[in-house]
Structure 1
Amino acid sequence: MLLCWLATPVVPAQSLTQRLFPAPPPVTIPTLEPPPAAYTFPTKETLSYSVDWRVFTAAVATFQIEQQGTTQKITATADTVGGVTMLFPVTDRFQSAFDTKTGCSSGFSKQTLEGRRKISSDLNFNYPEGKQTLVERNLVKGTSKQLTASIPACVTDSLSAIFYVGSHPLIVGQDFRFPLADAMRTVTVTMKVEAKEEVKTPAGTFQTVRVQPTADEGVVKNRGKIWIWYTDDARHIPVQVRASLFWGTITARLQSYEIK
């Protein structure tokens, strides 16, 4: 008790601006709930998609998922095709991994070749120290930078989140929230389970559940509106993804899949 005053911060007097326009209350980040024990992650899975922009097939994308012990490793690729490649070539590679028991992501890396821009970045999560570290390299300019920020005890990333969400019950009318590491911040994403729909894709016709992720900030908010259609069964395979952006709508439809 004698030393309590040493731990008490000195609060400066508020300015007129602070009194008239008080800062918003601190944002409460939800806890990342572990995947339900009843859900079975695939041992190995390959999902291939055709990506359409307006009336054109603009790209092809692939998810490769492989389970190693309690770690689910995900590799995603996206490559432009046809005339789009001549206008603006894109070759993107993404990798992430998460623990199937806790849902916690261990990190997220990407290599992007978009037009003349070529970037490689690695984001790692150090939960014991409560921090995330990003190392980003500009492979054209030969420069690099490193950034560090705090994180809560457990987060997911933008790639792992697709499959983390699929592990949960998707009940129409019910929402759930989780923390997402995004651009050196931790944002709260709300998954709105909107409706059941029949969806036709090149891989077949599926009964699905439509889910919309929303957030108050970060990549989920800044990339327009996004919807994901998961199969309405125990597997919750993402068979369609649609993003409504300021320059148009792109839709990824399942082309083929292989699950073990």
Structure 2
Amino acid sequence: MGRWQRACCSFRGSRPCESKPCELPLSKLKSAPFFSVAVLLASIACGAQTPALAAGGGSTIPTLQAPQPGYVVPAHQTLTYTVDWRVFTAGLAVFQLDQQGAMQKVTATGDSVGGVTLLFPVVDRFQSTWDTKTGCSTGFSKQTQEGRRKISSNLTFNAAQGKQTLVERNLVKGTTKEQTASIPACVTDSMSAIFYAATQPLVVGQEIRFPLADSMRTVTVTMKVEAREEIKTPAGVFQTIRVQPTADEGIVKNRGRIWVWYTDDARHIPVQMRASLFWGTITAHLQSYEVK
């Protein structure tokens, strides 16, 4: 029995594997928070599937703190990750960060690789922009092709009007829908959040709390700074600070945990990300990085 079949049967939990043809449960892959970069980032931020906490409502939304003084945002940075599920590599994620005046543009791609592509092909593209002085995001766009599903969406934040607007197009059905919802004056988004967190002091034993807006929701994310660890990735060995993002409600709390490992230096580069869920664990390892 090959490595793919062993992993597949282990995922499914069949015993004995040899007695049955092994079929990968695609419904689980479709909902896997780290399977594609889009859901990977949303899961790290704990916002994609968290119930709404309306700004100004019963729950207190924290104020987004500006990046700490002295934090240097790289003018150009490319981070490439391999995304591993159990015993094989399931995907590849690439993040490109480019500074444009006071704004930083984050572009990401996420693609399935190997046998996973045959079962459930993923070709995802994302973009967000945030203010390096305030931390505030201006919006988040994505074009996702996952299996037969093809969606293009554009989420914009209007701080002056205190609202977010989502325009979503189904490229298969040819339909379009638009939604609006209120937001605080300054929020981050599902993709910028991981890099915004790097601008804050990461002190073991302390927490970082900030508002995240995504898909007509505003949620409070808490980044718990847990410990220092040495992490080995294909890009090298790093001294890191382990951070666990959490939310007060939602699927992440109920079904699993997520961690991000940032370098224990002034750069705070995310070198590893992991989701431990009810069906298994997926880890994104830094394969290479380039800073200019």
2:63 to 31, 51, 61: 31
Q: Distance in 2 between matches of 1:219 and 1:65?
A: 29
- Determine if the alignment matches structure 1 residue 236 to structure 2 residue 268: yes
Deviations 1:192-213 (A, max 9, x none): 0001000000000000000010
What is the letter of the counterpart of residue 96 of structure 2? Q
CA distance in 1, matches of 2:111, 2:196: 24
For residue 244 of structure 1, what is the amino acid of its counterpart? S
Mark the runs of 5 or more structure 2 residues left unpaired by the alignment.
1-56
Matched residue type, 1:41: V
- Counterpart pick for 1:78 among 100, 110, 117: 110
Residues 107-256 of structure 1 aligned to structure 2 (within 5 Å): 107-217=139-249, 221=253, 224-256=256-288
TM-score, normalised on structure 2?
0.79
Instruction: Give 1:73 shift.
Output: 0.3
Q: Is 1:68 matched up with 2:100?
A: yes
8 Å contact from structure 2 (residues 155, 215) kept in 1:
no
Contact 1:183 1:218 in 2 (8 A): no
Structure exhibiting the larger radius of gyration computed from Cα positions: 1
CA contact (8 A) 2:221 2:246 kept: yes
**Contact 2:109-2:126 at 8 Å conserved across structures:** yes
Q: Which has the higher strand share?
A: 1
Q: CA deviation at 1:218?
A: 5.3
Unaligned runs of 5+ in 1: 1-24
In structure 2, what is the Cα distance between the partners aligned to 1:151 and 1:218?
19
1:50 aligns with 2:71: no
- Cα offset for 1:244? 1.6
CA distance in 2, matches of 1:70, 1:225: 34
Whichever residue aligns with residue 88 of structure 1, its letter is: F
Following superposition, the deviation at residue 172 of structure 1 comes to 0.4
**In 2: Cα distance, 1:114 partner to 1:236 partner:** 31
Residues in 2 aligned to 1:131 and 1:219: alpha-carbon distance in whole angstroms: 25
Aligned length: 236
TM (norm. structure 1) is 0.88
Q: Is the 8 A contact 2:188 2:211 kept in 1?
A: yes
1:101 paired to 2:133: yes
| Contact in 2 for aligned 1:213/1:220 (Cα 8 Å) | no
Question: Partner amino acid for 1:134?
Answer: L
Runs of 4+ with deviation above 4 angstroms: 218-223
Q: Residue 187 of structure 1 contacts residue 218 of structure 1 at CA under 8 Å; is this kept in 2?
A: no
Give the partner amino acid of 1:177.
R
Give the share of equivalent positions with the same residue, in percent.
75
Deviation at 1:223, TM superposition (A): 7.3
Report the alpha carbon displacement of residue 169 of structure 1 after superposing the two structures with TM.
Answer: 1.1
Q: In the alignment, residue 173 of structure 1 is paired with which amino acid? A: G
Over aligned residue pairs, what C-alpha RMSD do you find? Answer: 1.3
Which protein has the bigger helix share?
2
Deviation at 1:182, TM superposition (A): 2.4
- Give 1:8's aligned residue: none
Equivalent AA in structure 1 for residue 204 of structure 2: V
* Equivalent pair of 1:182/1:219 in contact (CA under 8 Å): no
Distance 1:191 1:124 in 2: 24
CA distance in 2, matches of 1:135, 1:218: 24
- Tell me the amino acid that sits aligned with residue 277 of structure 2: L
- Contact 1:182 1:218 (C-alpha < 8 Å) held by counterparts: no
SS in structure 2 at match of 1:49: strand
Deviations along 1:54-86, one digit per CA (max 9) or x if unpaired, are 000001100100000000000111100010100
* Equivalent residue number for residue 17 of structure 1: none
